[in-house]
Amino acid sequence: MSKEKMFAMRMSQMDYDRIQHKAGQAGMSMTAFITASALGKNITVVDGLDKVLAELKAIGKNLNQLTTLCNMGRITCLDLTEIKSSFGKVFDYLYDRMDRG
């Protein structure tokens, strides 16, 4: 979605600093934070989520490598279809809730 409208407003330095701090905590730009707040969207900050996502990505890569080795016939393993599906659902759930604004 393109942003073609400019909106200017005045506020106290204290309010500006607080909004900037909250946007930073949420990992959002001030524009994204103010827009989300004004439109009544929930803004959830989860500390350490970047570490969880990095770990989930690593687990996913390992699962993909195991699956590849199984498909090549280099190792014999259990059916990982359900595990991969569950992992994908968890990753999608977390990823969808991240605002990369």
Mean pLDDT in order along the chain per 10 residues (101 residues): 82 93 89 86 72 82 86 81 80 71 46
Instruction: Report whether 30 contacts 20 (CB < 8 A).
Output: yes
Cβ contacts of 80 within 8 Å, gap of 6 or more: 63, 66, 67, 70
Instruction: Report whether 94 contacts 56 (CB < 8 A).
Output: yes
Alpha helices in 1-101 (DSSP H): 13-26, 30-38, 49-72, 81-96
Instruction: Report whether 60 contacts 87 (CB < 8 A).
Output: yes
pTM attached to this predicted model:
0.44
Asked if 41 and 53 sit in the same domain, the reply is no
Taking only Cα atoms into account, the Rg of the chain, rounded to an integer number of angstroms, comes to: 20
Instruction: Report whether 60 contacts 91 (CB < 8 A).
Output: yes
Query: Is 101 a member of any domain?
Result: no
Amino acid at 70: C
Number of structural domains (the chain) is 2
What was the pLDDT predicted at 99? 55
Asked if 23 and 62 sit in the same domain, the reply is no
Judged by DSSP in three states, 40 sits in coil
Q: Which domain holds residue 29?
A: 1-45
What was the pLDDT predicted at 82? 80
What was the pLDDT predicted at 95? 76
